[in-house]
Structure 1
Amino acid sequence: VNVGILGGTFDPVHLGHLSIADAAMAQAALERVLFIPARHPRLKHAEPSASVDQRLEMVRLAIEDHPRYQVCDIEAHRPGPTYTVDTLVELSAKLGPAINLYFILGIDVLRQLDRWKDPEQVLGLCMLLVMDRPGEGDFNWDGFYERVPWAKGRVQVVTAPMVDISATKLRRQAAAGEMLTGQVPDAVAKYICKQRPYLKDWEERTES
């Protein structure tokens, strides 16, 4: 059974995330996709604006009509920085040897693979599903495999649509009280409108 893993801050989750999951599901014969909100990703310096519980709830709302998508809180309350290898070890033990894990990521993240914690162990625990989106430019695969030869045979490229949605822009719009309809699932737009998880972003901007 092939299971996809889509991690991120999801601050907030938006239609671009769902399009990535859809492409991975269709092209890699995935049985399901786990959405895993990170408490604080190691390679991102800024703290997420919404709390981890708010981000978990937004993901739940975003995927409620997708029975093969699931939210997983394995990283949500883990102390310290989030490392992919720790998540994969925990998931592998929990799901068992009959499950094949596919870690979904973008070209920009793949470029940093050698900066990950225990990257060779990561590639022993999962396949990488790399999103190839229009407009991202050519990727130097020969140079990549020269730098990380142990990744050969562990990377599958998936063609994904380019969805031009910026989480940073969404937070600014939400902080200003604008509706995010058409950029996030309707249930998420309503949640943000009601709960105002990005209100403090607006307050900080107006005070500065």
Structure 2
Amino acid sequence: MKRIGVFGGTFNPIHVAHLRLAQDVIENYRFEKIIFIPNFTPPHKNIDVWIDPIHRLNMVKLAIQGNPDFLYEDVEFKRGGVSYTIDTIRFLYEKYKFEGKPGFLLGSDLIGDIGAWKDIRELANLVEFIVLWRDETTSLSKVSGRNTKVDINFRDSTPEIINISIRDGRAGEFCITIDKIVCRRMDITASEIRRLIRTGKSVRYLVTEEVFDYIEKHRLYR
């Protein structure tokens, strides 16, 4: 396998914006595959609406079926416990013989806490961070974290590249250079999908038909 991108998240539930973003990354970065990795228990995010985690994994499988460019890994479910990114990346290096560093996709809202991630220095050496920037108007203040001081400098000559200087008590001080993708505007979120279901509204066409049928069959998020 050549170049791969890694797309982790709770996927609670996975929706069409997740899929379209992954497709955009494949086309922009010439990745051979995108691997979707549902978190079992995310360390830095509370799962507001609890469902059996296996449902989230099953919906990912259903959402990506039929697309040969999309794969999934259930490593974090098999491992159990808290889902640390570094442990998953180490596993991927052992399993896949890919060329170069894998791309690691993350939302701009996660940058502020990145210095608190487990073994962040090692992780920064193992992956190519690709930030999914929601839009050009996103304020830098919105990505600063409580536990990590993040200074972001956009290079004038290359606006799609961001330099991040992280100062954190555990990780020390170091810099990460990451790529920035300004995402296509898709106002779809998992929390909004859950809210619609809870209030009796349809989420058809916000998720794939297979995921829609699965949610209905198992009466999720009600």
Aligned Cα RMSD in Å? 2.1
**Structure with higher helix content:** 1
**How far apart, in 2, do the equivalents of 1:56 and 1:99 lie?**
28
Q: What is the aligned partner in structure 1 of residue 153 from structure 2?
A: 142
Question: How far off its partner does 1:12 sit?
Answer: 0.5
Q: Which secondary structure state, in structure 2, belongs to the residue aligned with residue 112 of structure 1?
A: helix
Question: How far off its partner does 1:138 sit?
Answer: 4.1
Q: Which secondary structure state, in structure 1, belongs to the residue aligned with residue 220 of structure 2?
A: coil
1:173 counterpart = 2:196: yes
Correspondences of 1:1-208 after superposition (within 5 Å) = 1-46=2-47, 49-96=50-97, 98=99, 100-134=101-135, 136-139=137-140, 141-142=152-153, 145-147=164-166, 149-152=174-177, 155-199=178-222
Unaligned runs of 5+ in 2: 141-150, 155-162, 167-172
Please report the TM-score for the alignment, with normalisation by the length of structure 1: 0.86
Question: How far off its partner does 1:13 sit?
Answer: 0.4
Question: How far off its partner does 1:48 sit?
Answer: 5.2
For residues 48-106 of structure 1, the C-alpha deviation after alignment (integer angstroms, 9 at most, x for no partner) is 52222111111111111311101110112323211100100111111136363110011
**How far apart, in 2, do the equivalents of 1:116 and 1:10 lie?**
20
**How far apart, in 2, do the equivalents of 1:123 and 1:146 lie?**
12
Question: How far off its partner does 1:33 sit?
Answer: 0.4
**How far apart, in 1, do the equivalents of 2:6 and 2:64 lie?**
14
Please report the TM-score for the alignment, with normalisation by the length of structure 2: 0.81
For residues 176-206 of structure 1, the C-alpha deviation after alignment (integer angstroms, 9 at most, x for no partner) is 443211211111111111111223xxxxxxx
Inter-CA distance 123–187: structure 2 relative to 1 (3 Å threshold): same
Q: Which secondary structure state, in structure 2, belongs to the residue aligned with residue 198 of structure 1?
A: coil
Unaligned runs of 5+ in 1: 200-208
The percent of aligned pairs where both chains have the same amino acid is: 29
